[in-house]
Amino acid sequence: MTASQSLHTRGTNLEKPYYLPTANEVDVFEQCHKQALAIMLKGPTGCGKTRLVEHMAWKLNRPLITVACHDDLSANDLIGRYLIRHDGTVWQDGPLTRAVREGAICYLDEVVEARQDTIVVLHSLTDHRRILPIDKTGELLTAAQGFQLVISYNPGYQRMLKDLKPSTRQRFVAIELGYPHIDSEVEIVKRESHTDHATAHALVKLAHRIRCLHDRGLAEVPSTRLLIAAALLHKRGVDIHSACRSAIVAPLSDDAALTAAMNDLVDAIFT
68-86, pLDDT tens digit by residue? 999 999 999 999 999 999 8
Picking from 9-13, 31-35, 115-119, 244-248, which range would have the lowest pLDDT averaged per residue? 9-13
Partner residues linked to 43 by β-bridges: none
pLDDT at 106: 98
pLDDT at 6: 45
Whether residue 147 is contained in a domain is answered as yes
**188 and 123, same domain (yes or no):** no
**155 and 45, same domain (yes or no):** yes
- Indicate the SS3 state at residue 154: coil
Backbone region of residue 129 per phi and psi (left: phi > 0; alpha: psi in -120 to 50; beta: other values): alpha
pTM: 0.90
What residues make up the domain containing 236?
A: 182-270
* Half-sphere exposure at residue 183, Cβ-oriented, CA atoms within 13 angstroms: 2
Output 2 or 14, whichever has higher pLDDT. Answer: 14
pLDDT at 162: 74
Output 45 or 228, whichever has higher pLDDT. Answer: 228
**155 and 209, same domain (yes or no):** no
**66 and 186, same domain (yes or no):** no
**Angstrom distance (rounded) from CA 32 to CA 26:** 10
Q: What is the dihedral of CA 235, 237, 238, 241, to 10 degrees?
A: 70
pLDDT at 269: 98
